[in-house]
């Protein structure tokens, strides 16, 4: 039987926080040393609800609930389940507000509302929007949806075809619908919006189809577009003005979104905004990442290609760019920077700093000052060989020349692969342990760039990049990571990339799911496995926890294989991704033995 391998020696099942820490020390597990760490923007609703995609504006995915602990997690059982009626990748997570659970499916993006006060959790309503079938053929990396946002009695979410809808939570009736993306250009929408004040913030997908990335703000009451900011182009489009004060000199200048590209390449230069959004109410800044530049053939776009593969901080009211940090300038490997930015206050160098923490696809864990964009730390968190480190005086990675890609030249064994050290699957942070709980990928690739021609609405890639298991043969690891030291506290090696997100609770329990269909609970201090349950399909979604109307703590997770990992499966799972970089079925050739498509919401309790 295949088993996950705990990298460090697991501690015995001692009871009590101090006992678990002592056991960890005895067994060789480095006990947490981060004291005084705290979430920058804690949830503003009841602790028993899950009211935002990431749990709070900080994207911490931390819950204050404590009923489920390391002592009793072994007693978890299925409380109820629901088939969504939809196959394909179930990324994202439910919301729970006022004893109602809200679920949004992959395409066709059906929304469900469940009454948690009644036995059997009956449906309050079901909303099935109009959604263009043409979006299925346009969408890169499966027809996923990463969830909804909630405010003022309305549920807001995006449709794959490029529209945002507002639904009345009382009866499931549509209040407004706004088309924000152009499907004919290859734009779709898969990301989870957030609501800041009276604005719904949304961004586009389509980085592999030569779209021009953007983020937009819609009025929550009417759906009217209030502002839109592009990732590339002239300053007026990017919303660069007097407030723009990047920390590094090479990021200052006029119209860098044009001059760091050849000719008009920025118009099809990608930089899509399909990942997670964070918000700091004190600074009134929204943080978002941008995707890869297009095409992947880097020789067709000399220059830094700003502002792709970057982390951007914008004024929430106006979209004005305040600072930018380009994580991977002139990206040659498809290292999108759309991963979540977790807002925390951490002790660094004897001083508590207001930072954002970003586990990037390029394999580095970044700690940035969230007011200025200064890179304070950058530590590798997965096996990598494309770079020897990040120069903190410039913020730029030190590229290994032998791993730089080139047209017509096959570069072998680049680590991490284009899937990154971590992809869309979000990490979690516990202010109790000061640790980040990170689902990771250990894949490497060969890469050969080739000419690409832009045709609107079609793949704009220009590369071949087969993938395979990285060092030591495992393909994923779930780990606890201390960004103040750049050290892993513990890690659980998995046979496949860990594509589902993390949840950590004040009961010191961490939850995550695996591609081969296991849902697991582990000890936050030691990584000791406390419980696991085999689901009907692989997990690419994110766990949440909530307090039921009966006063009990529940944990919910989607089972439904898909996303970019799902399209790599051999057998009867269709490869919808219209790209030319991998041979179908070669990256995860054996996963079909353990799981297949699905679409079920599972809910557990003691």
Catalytic residue IDs? 208, 292, 334
Contact between 182 and 162 (Cβ < 8 Å): yes
Of 302, 314, 319, 313, nearest to 259 (Cα)? Answer: 302
Report how far residue 132's alpha carbon sits from residue 118's, in angstroms, rounded to the nearest whole number. 35
Report how far residue 128's alpha carbon sits from residue 573's, in angstroms, rounded to the nearest whole number. 25
Q: If you ran DSSP here, which 8-state letter would residue 235 be given?
A: H
Contact between 433 and 418 (Cβ < 8 Å): no
Residue listed under structure tokens 């549509």: 174
Of 86, 152, 182, 188, nearest to 541 (Cα)? Answer: 86
Pairing of strands 502-505, 62-63: parallel
Report how far residue 338's alpha carbon sits from residue 271's, in angstroms, rounded to the nearest whole number. 9
Residue listed under structure tokens 């791993």: 403
Tally of CB atoms within 10 A around 176: 17
- Reading the block at residue 100, the tokens are 């109602």
Which string of b and e fits 578-593 if b means at least 16 CB within 10 Å? Answer: bbbbbeebebbeebee
- Reading the block at residue 150, the tokens are 């909630």
- Reading the block at residue 505, the tokens are 């609770």
Report how far residue 318's alpha carbon sits from residue 548's, in angstroms, rounded to the nearest whole number. 38
Contacts of 307 (CB under 8 A, 6+ apart): 231, 232, 238, 256, 257, 271, 290, 324, 326
Cis peptide before 172 (omega within 30 of 0): no
Question: Can you state the percent helix, strand and coil of the chain, rounding each to 5?
Answer: 10, 35, 55
Report how far residue 108's alpha carbon sits from residue 86's, in angstroms, rounded to the nearest whole number. 8
- Spell out the SS3 assignment of 434-492: CCEEEEEECEEEEEEECCCCCCCCCCCCCEECCEEECCCCCCEEEEEEECCCCEEEEEE
Span between the terminal Cα atoms of the chain, in Å: 27
Report how far residue 189's alpha carbon sits from residue 145's, in angstroms, rounded to the nearest whole number. 8
Residue listed under structure tokens 């993938």: 467
Residue listed under structure tokens 């088939």: 83
Report how far residue 361's alpha carbon sits from residue 364's, in angstroms, rounded to the nearest whole number. 7
Task: Look at the alpha carbons of 493, 441, 511, 340 in this order and tell me if their dihedral is positive or negative.
Answer: positive
């Amino acid at each position: 039987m295949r088993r996950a391998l705990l990298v460090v020696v697991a501690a015995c099942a001692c009871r009590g926080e101090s006992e678990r820490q002592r056991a960890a020390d005895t067994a060789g597990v480095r006990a947490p040393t981060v004291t005084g760490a705290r979430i920058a923007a804690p949830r503003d609703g009841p602790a028993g609800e899950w009211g935002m995609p990431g749990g709070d504006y900080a994207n911490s995915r931390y819950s204050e609930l404590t009923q489920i602990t390391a002592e009793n997690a072994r007693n978890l059982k299925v409380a109820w389940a629901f088939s969504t009626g939809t196959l394909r990748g179930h990324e994202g997570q439910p919301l729970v507000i006022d004893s109602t659970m809200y679920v949004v499916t992959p395409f066709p993006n059906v929304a469900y509302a469940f009454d948690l006060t009644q036995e059997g959790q009956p449906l309050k309503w079901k909303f099935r929007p109009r959604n263009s079938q043409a979006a299925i053929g346009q969408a890169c990396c499966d027809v996923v949806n990463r969830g909804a946002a909630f405010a003022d009695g309305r549920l807001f979410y995006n449709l794959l075809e490029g529209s945002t809808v507002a639904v009345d939570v009382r009866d499931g009736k549509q209040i407004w619908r706004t088309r924000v993306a152009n499907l004919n250009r290859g734009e779709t929408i898969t990301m989870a919006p957030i609501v800041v004040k009276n604005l719904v913030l949304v961004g586009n997908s389509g980085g592999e189809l030569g779209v021009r990335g953007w983020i937009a703000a819609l009025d929550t009451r009417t759906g009217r577009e209030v502002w839109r900011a592009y990732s590339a182009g002239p300053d007026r489009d990017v919303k660069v003005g007097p407030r723009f004060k990047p920390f590094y000199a090479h990021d200052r200048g006029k119209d860098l979104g044009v001059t760091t590209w050849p000719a008009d390449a920025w118009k099809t230069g990608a930089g899509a905004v399909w990942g997670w959004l964070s918000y700091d109410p004190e600074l009134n800044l929204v943080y978002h990442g941008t995707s890869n530049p297009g095409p992947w053939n880097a020789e067709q776009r000399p220059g830094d290609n700003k502002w792709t593969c970057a982390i951007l901080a914008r004024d929430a009211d106006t979209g004005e760019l305040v600072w930018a940090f380009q994580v991977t300038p002139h990206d040659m490997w498809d290292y999108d920077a759309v991963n979540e930015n977790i807002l925390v206050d951490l002790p660094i160098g004897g001083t508590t700093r207001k930072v954002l923490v970003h586990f990037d696809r390029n394999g580095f864990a970044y700690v940035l000052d969230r007011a200025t964009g200064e890179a304070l730390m950058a530590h590798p968190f997965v096996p990598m060989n494309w770079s020897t480190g990040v120069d903190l005086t410039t913020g730029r990675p030190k590229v290994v020349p032998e791993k730089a890609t080139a047209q017509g030249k096959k570069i072998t064994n680049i680590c991490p692969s284009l899937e990154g050290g971590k992809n869309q699957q979000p990490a979690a942070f516990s202010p109790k342990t000061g640790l980040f709980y990170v689902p990771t990928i250990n894949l490497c690739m060969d890469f050969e760039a080739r000419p690409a021609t832009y045709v609107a609405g079609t793949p704009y890639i220009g590369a071949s990049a087969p993938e395979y298991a990285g060092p030591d043969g495992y393909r994923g690891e779930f780990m606890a990571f201390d960004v103040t030291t750049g050290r892993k506290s513990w890690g659980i090696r998995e046979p496949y990339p860990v594509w589902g997100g993390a949840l950590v609770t004040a009961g010191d329990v961490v939850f995550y799911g695996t591609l081969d269909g296991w849902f697991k609970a582990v000890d936050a201090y030691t990584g000791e496995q406390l419980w696991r349950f085999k689901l009907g399909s692989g997990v690419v979604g994110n766990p949440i926890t909530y307090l039921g109307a009966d006063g009990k703590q529940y944990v919910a997770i989607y089972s439904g294989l898909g996303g970019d990992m799902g399209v790599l499966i051999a057998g009867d799972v269709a490869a919808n991704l219209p790209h030319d970089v991998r041979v179908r079925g070669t990256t995860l050739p054996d996963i079909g033995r353990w799981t297949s498509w699905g679409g079920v919401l599972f809910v557990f309790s003691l």
